[in-house]
Structure 1
Amino acid sequence: MQLDRFDRQLLNLVQQDSSLAAERLAEQVALSPSAIQRRLRRLREQGVIVRDAAVLDPAQIGRPNFFIVSLEVERERPELLAQLRAWLNEQEHIQQAFYVTGEVDFVLIVTAPHMEAFEALMSRLLQENANVKRYTTNVALGLVKRGLNIPVPLDEAE
């Protein structure tokens, strides 16, 4: 999909705050509110904008703990990886899962209200996924930065 400068500006703005009304976006992008709405609809229909979400304060909702988990699998057969990916996608405590290069196969970002909930999830992971060889965990001591924004250069050449 070809993105012009207006699309790129919009994408940067809605990543910062997807609740902005078309009128407010129009003030910053120099297009009419109706043109903004058409562009946003097109960007959603074409899969550039995958979804809109609210960013919550984990401590305010009882989910203050973050765990970074590295998984190593026994065999990298496609059907076994697909099964593990499906299982990871179903787990609400797993916020992000990356298939990576290097010494481990997956890196997970997990949130849980307390250590017992995290341990229960990891126990189920091993019980329900025989192909998982081992995992290691890093406990986040503090949150320095959290986000999903992808910088969108205003010009294609950037």
Structure 2
Amino acid sequence: MPRPNLDTFDRKLLTLVQRDASRGADALAAEVGLSPSAVLRRLKRLREDGVIVATAAILDPLKVGKPNFFLAALEIERERPEHIARLRQWLAAEEWVQQIYYVTGTADFVLVVVAPDVGAYDALMSRLMADNPNVRRFTTNVALGVGKRSLFVPVEPAD
């Protein structure tokens, strides 16, 4: 898929909506120097082009039950495409798996997992191992605190 051509206005809008997607077209327009209707057209195009893939609310974990964060590193037996695709599909379907990274190094995948407690995390990982025999083993780091949590992607200025 070709990369969309993003101009200076698109890049400014992408930065602004990443910081606060609830801002209205009037406020965004005033900041980027376009009309509100032009801002809405651009945002619609950015969604249609797949640049903006979702709009989400970021919750304070302490106010919704204080979930625990786990960083899991998975090692797989064989890197056959069909095995990797099946594992990715399984992981993507799991609500507690927040992020999935296919990586280089000792591990093959690194996951960010949120769970209510260690027992729930252990049950999830037991299911992962039972349902995915291609996973050789996993290691886990438990987050003792969260210094920063973000999905912000810096958008470089146009050349």
- The answer to whether structure 1 residue 66 and structure 2 residue 66 are counterparts is no
Q: Residue 17 of structure 1 aligns to which amino acid in structure 2?
A: D
Deviates more, 1:54-63 or 1:119-128: 54-63
Does the 8 Å contact 1:94/1:110 carry over to 2? yes
**What CA distance in whole angstroms lies between the structure 1 residues aligned with 2:52 and 2:131?**
33
Deviates more, 1:60-69 or 1:139-148: 60-69
Match of 2:10 among 7, 11, 19: 7
What does 1:114-153 correspond to in 2, within 5 Å? 114-153=117-156
What does 1:5-154 correspond to in 2, within 5 Å? 5-154=8-157
**What CA distance in whole angstroms lies between the structure 1 residues aligned with 2:86 and 2:124?**
17
Give % identity: 59
The Cα offsets for residues 101-141 of structure 1, whole Å up to 9 and x where unpaired, read as: 11110000000111111010000000100000000000000
**What CA distance in whole angstroms lies between the structure 1 residues aligned with 2:86 and 2:48?**
29
**What CA distance in whole angstroms lies between the structure 1 residues aligned with 2:105 and 2:126?**
24
For the aligned residues, what is the CA RMSD? 0.7
**What CA distance in whole angstroms lies between the structure 1 residues aligned with 2:67 and 2:74?**
22
> Would you identify which runs of 4 or more consecutive aligned residues in structure 1 move more than 6 Å?
none
Per-residue deviation at 1:60?
Answer: 1.2
Does the 8 Å contact 1:95/1:111 carry over to 2? yes
Does the 8 Å contact 2:6/2:158 carry over to 1? no
Per-residue deviation at 1:64?
Answer: 2.5
**What CA distance in whole angstroms lies between the structure 2 residues aligned with 1:134 and 1:63?**
28
Does the 8 Å contact 1:22/1:37 carry over to 2? yes
- What's the TM-score, normalizing by structure 1? 0.97
Instruction: Work out the number of aligned pairs and report it.
Output: 156
- What's the TM-score, normalizing by structure 2? 0.96
Unaligned stretches of 5+ residues in structure 2: none
